[in-house]
Structure 1
Amino acid sequence: MPLLLGFPLMIHQSENALEARAIEASRFALNHIETMLDSADLAANAVSQLSGKPCAEAERALRLQATSRPFVRSVNLTENGVIYCTSLNGSVRDAEEANAYAGGRLRLMAGNDVTPDRAVLIYRLPEKSKSVLVGIDGQHLKNILQLVSADFATVSLLIGDSRMGGDGMVSEFAPNRHLVRPIATSSRKYPFTMQAANPDGMRLRYLMEHYLPQLGLLALLGTLAGVGAYKLGLRALSPRVEMGRALSAGEFVPYYQPLVRGDDYEWCGLEVLMRWKHPTDGLIPADLFIPYAERSGLIVPMTEHLMIQTCRELAPHAKRLPPDFHIGINISAAHCMDLRLIDQCRQFLSAFPAGSIVLVLELTERELIEPTDVTDRLFAELRGLGVKIAIDDFGTGQSSLAYLQKFHIDALKIDRSFVAMAGSDVLSRHILDNIIDLANRLNLDVVAEGVESTQQRDYLSERGVQYLQGYFFGRPMPIDPLLQTLKQAPPG
Structure 2
Amino acid sequence: MQTAQRIIQSYRHKRAIFSVVVAAVALILTLAFRFISERNINQQHIVAYTSHAVQTLDKLIQPLVAGRDVITPLVGMSCDDAHQTLRKQAATLQTIRAIALIENGILYCSSIFGHRNVPVHQLQPSLPAPQPLMVLTTDQSLLKDQPILILWYPTREDGQNGVLEVVNIELLSNLMLEPQEPLITRVNLSVNGRHLVQGKGVMEHLPPHQDEKHYQQSSTQFPFAISVSGPGADQLALQHLPSQLPLALMMSFLTGFIAWFATASRMSFSWEINLGLAAHEFELFCQPVISAGNLQCTGVEILLRWYNPRQGWISPEVFIPIAEDHHLIAPLTRYVITETARQRELFPDDPQFHIGINVAPSHLRHGELLKDLHNLWYNMHPTQQLVIELTERDALLDADSRMMRELRRKGTKIAIDDFGTGNSALAWLEKLHPDILKIDKSYTTAIGTDAVNSTVIDMIIALGQRLHIELVAEGVEQPQQAFYLRQQGVQLLQGFLFARPMPINDFPAWLAENNSPPARHNSHELPLIQG
The bucket for the TM-score relative to the shorter chain is: 0.5 to 0.7
- Of residues 393, 396, 402, the one that matches 1:369 is 396
Give structure 1 stretches of 5+ with no counterpart: 1-146, 154-201
Tell me the distance in 1 between the aligned counterparts of 2:305 and 2:446. 27
Give structure 2 stretches of 5+ with no counterpart: 33-251, 516-526
Are 2:7 and 2:269, in contact at CA under 8 Å, matched by a contact in 1? no
Equivalent in the alignment of 1:40: none
Aligned CA distance change for structure 1 residues 474 and 212 (closer, same or farther; 3 Å): same
- 1:251 counterpart = 2:281: yes
Q: Which has the larger radius of gyration?
A: 2
Aligned CA distance change for structure 1 residues 295 and 208 (closer, same or farther; 3 Å): closer
Equivalent in the alignment of 1:263: 293
| Correspondence 1:322-341 to 2 at 5 A | 323-341=351-369
Tell me the distance in 1 between the aligned counterparts of 2:463 and 2:366. 31
- 1:359 counterpart = 2:386: yes
Equivalent in the alignment of 1:173: none
Equivalent in the alignment of 1:239: 269
1:337 is aligned with what amino acid?
R
Tell me the distance in 1 between the aligned counterparts of 2:507 and 2:427. 36
| Correspondence 1:67-466 to 2 at 5 A | 150-151=5-6, 211=17, 237-314=267-344, 316-318=345-347, 320-321=348-349, 323-346=351-374, 347-353=376-382, 356-372=383-399, 375-466=400-491
Aligned CA distance change for structure 1 residues 302 and 423 (closer, same or farther; 3 Å): same
- Residues 156-198 of structure 1 show CA distances to partners (whole Å, capped at 9, x for unaligned) of xxxxxxxxxxxxxxxxxxxxxxxxxxxxxxxxxxxxxxxxxxx
1:359 is aligned with what amino acid?
L
Aligned CA distance change for structure 1 residues 366 and 207 (closer, same or farther; 3 Å): closer
Shift of 1:408: 2.1
Aligned CA distance change for structure 1 residues 466 and 454 (closer, same or farther; 3 Å): same
SS of residue paired to 1:389? strand
Aligned CA distance change for structure 1 residues 408 and 282 (closer, same or farther; 3 Å): same
Are 2:401 and 2:431, in contact at CA under 8 Å, matched by a contact in 1? no
Tell me the distance in 2 between the aligned counterparts of 1:413 and 1:312. 26
Shift of 1:324: 1.1
SS of residue paired to 2:287? strand
| Correspondence 1:54-73 to 2 at 5 A | none
**Percent same amino acid at aligned positions?**
37
Aligned CA distance change for structure 1 residues 304 and 245 (closer, same or farther; 3 Å): same
| Correspondence 1:28-47 to 2 at 5 A | none
What is the RMSD computed on CA atoms of the aligned residues?
3.6
SS of residue paired to 2:421? coil
Aligned CA distance change for structure 1 residues 265 and 231 (closer, same or farther; 3 Å): farther
Tell me the distance in 2 between the aligned counterparts of 1:207 and 1:438. 49
Tell me the distance in 1 between the aligned counterparts of 2:349 and 2:299. 9
2:419 is aligned with what amino acid?
F
Shift of 1:307: 0.3
SS of residue paired to 1:302? helix
SS of residue paired to 2:295? coil
1:295 is aligned with what amino acid?
D
1:348 is aligned with what amino acid?
W
Are 1:395 and 1:414, in contact at CA under 8 Å, matched by a contact in 2? yes
Tell me the distance in 1 between the aligned counterparts of 2:272 and 2:433. 37
Are 2:346 and 2:504, in contact at CA under 8 Å, matched by a contact in 1? no
Tell me the distance in 1 between the aligned counterparts of 2:338 and 2:450. 42
1:300 is aligned with what amino acid?
A
Tell me the distance in 1 between the aligned counterparts of 2:510 and 2:19. 46
* TM-score normalized with structure 1 length: 0.52
- Residues 188-242 of structure 1 show CA distances to partners (whole Å, capped at 9, x for unaligned) of xxxxxxxxxxxxxx99xx9799749988x979xx78x99x989988697122222
Are 1:423 and 1:459, in contact at CA under 8 Å, matched by a contact in 2? no
- Residues 393-438 of structure 1 show CA distances to partners (whole Å, capped at 9, x for unaligned) of 1111111111111122111110000000112221111111110000
Shift of 1:276: 2.0
1:267 is aligned with what amino acid?
C
Shift of 1:455: 1.2
- Residues 100-156 of structure 1 show CA distances to partners (whole Å, capped at 9, x for unaligned) of xxxxxxxxxxxxxxxxxxxxxxxxxxxxxxxxxxxxxxxxxxxxxxx88x3499xxx
Aligned pair count reads 287
Aligned CA distance change for structure 1 residues 357 and 410 (closer, same or farther; 3 Å): same
Are 2:464 and 2:470, in contact at CA under 8 Å, matched by a contact in 1? yes
Tell me the distance in 1 between the aligned counterparts of 2:343 and 2:263. 34
